């Protein structure tokens, strides 16, 4: 299915919010992410989805909304998919606990619900 940029942004936002809410509701800490393989698996799926939708946004959309580090987000997805065994979970924990809330805030500025 071909999504419009607006549809992709909504999907990115939904995945980011669901991941944030799951982390908060279950009182998950950074340390948990470093040691729990099931949690690592759980976290990677929304990150894959976010990265895939970002990768497929039009270049014009990314240029117009340049406050979000689109290249870093899609790059993270590629690293997770193609180098899973080499994943640095300290970086992923930082992304989830520090960068994800900032992404949600930026998306809320541009999203049309």
Cβ-contact 16, 100 below 8 angstroms: yes
Mean pLDDT of 50-75: 95
Helix (H) or strand (E) holding 61: helix 59-64
Closest CA relative to residue 96, chosen from 51, 35, 29:
29
- Comparing 86 with 45, the larger pLDDT belongs to 45
Q: For 10-19, 23-32, 62-71, 85-94, which range has the lowest pLDDT when averaged over its residues? A: 85-94
Give me the half-sphere count of Cα atoms (radius 13 Å) on the Cβ side of residue 100: 27
Q: Give dist(CA 31, CA 64) in Å, integer.
A: 37
Q: pLDDT per residue over 9-46, tens digit each?
A: 999 999 999 999 999 999 999 999 999 999 999 999 99
What pLDDT does 82 receive? 84
Say which residues have a Cβ less than 8 Å from residue 18's Cβ, sequence separation at least 6: 46
pTM of the model: 0.91
Q: pLDDT per residue over 96-106, tens digit each?
A: 999 999 999 99
What pLDDT does 80 receive? 87
Two tokens at 98? 């520090």
Which DSSP category does 68 fall into? S
């Amino acid at each position: 299915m071909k999504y419009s940029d607006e549809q992709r942004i909504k999907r990115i936002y939904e995945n980011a919010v669901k991941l944030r809410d799951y982390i908060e509701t279950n009182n998950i800490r950074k340390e948990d992410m470093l040691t729990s393989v099931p949690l690592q698996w759980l976290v990677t799926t929304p990150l894959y989805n976010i990265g895939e939708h970002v990768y497929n946004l039009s270049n014009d959309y990314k240029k117009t909304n340049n406050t979000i580090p689109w290249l870093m987000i899609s790059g993270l997805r590629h690293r997770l998919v193609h180098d899973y065994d080499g994943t640095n979970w300290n970086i992923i924990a930082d992304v989830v606990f520090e960068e994800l809330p900032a992404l949600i805030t930026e998306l809320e500025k541009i999203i049309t619900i």
